[in-house]
Amino acid sequence: MQLADTSAIVTGGASGLGAATAAALVAHGARVFAFDLPAAIEKAGQAPDGVTYLPVDVTEATQVGDAVATAAEHGPLRAVVNCAGIGPSARILSRKGVHDLELYATIIKVNLIGSFNVLALAAEKMAETEPLEHGMRGAVVNTASVAAYEGQVGQAAYASSKGGIVGLNLPAARDLAQYGIRVNTIAPGIVETPMLATVSEEFRAALAAGIPFPQRLGRPEEYADLALFLLTHDYLNGEVVRMDGALRMAPR
């Protein structure tokens, strides 16, 4: 699938994995609409050439629907990459008491329901586009995590949300096959994102030491490269790809 002269949506597109993916899509000729919260957009400043920032809460159907419609007005909507997510940690039972239920629900709502919301509403617009060769209309890439498989202590909510994205992947690909829309998922390991920018070099080095090879943290640009590969490879569908340097997370 060619991305030149098409519209693309990237959630969480103002920073981290999303910003790197937006830049990669622009480099391939797409017009990118980056969905993010107003505070994240304000922090990012002026949007790069080829990127339009849209203030969107991915959990709000009306906001997402309006933003998807805006993206579809500027060319055929062919690509969606869901990067928006949050990752607070809390144990199910600790000295502070039982895991806060509202926190658990919020993480599920943002990471899993938000991804589904964008996937579904974008697929509706994709289904209206003119089909390409073999009926291809578009492709979606969701973001899970290695925590979906090896959630650590304190990651009950986060691992649940990312496990849900892994579980969503194949039925979504099967549901949308009749419309010529592919769905794949990336499960990153430890990637150098803004969430890690506040920790010390020593802590980052300790994280990198646990990765078999290459013994370093992943880079947002590597995620973006993989997302572009999944978007443009027409025979990859219903797959979850780990990007983790063969890391298997320990309990803590």
pLDDT tens digits, 11-61: 999 999 999 999 999 999 999 999 999 999 999 999 999 999 999 999 999
- Residue 35 has which token pair? 């969905």
Burial of 108 (0-12, 13-18, 19+ CB in 10 A): middle
Q: How far is CA 216 from CA 219, 246, 247, in A?
A: 9, 12, 11
Domain presence at residue 68: yes
Domain presence at residue 2: no
pLDDT of residue 199: 65
Domain presence at residue 104: yes
**CA 60 to chain centroid:** 17
- CATH of residue 64's domain is 3.40.50.720
Please give the radius of gyration of the chain, using alpha carbons only, rounded to the nearest integer.
18
Domain presence at residue 158: yes
Catalytic residue check, 158: yes
pLDDT of residue 202: 79
- Residue 52 has which token pair? 């339009």
Domain presence at residue 252: no
Average pLDDT over residues 83-102: 95
Domain presence at residue 1: no
The residue range of the domain holding 11 is 7-243
pLDDT of residue 198: 63
Domain presence at residue 200: yes
> Whole-model pTM?
0.95
Q: What is the pLDDT of residues 68-82, one digit of tens each?
A: 999 999 999 999 999
Answer yes or no: is pLDDT of 195 > 80: no
Number of domains in the chain: 1
In contact, 184 and 226? CB cutoff 8 Å = no
Q: How confident is the model at residue 197 (pLDDT cuts 50, 70, 90)?
A: low
Domain presence at residue 61: yes
The catalytic position among 53, 104, 149, 158 is: 158
Q: How confident is the model at residue 102 (pLDDT cuts 50, 70, 90)?
A: very high
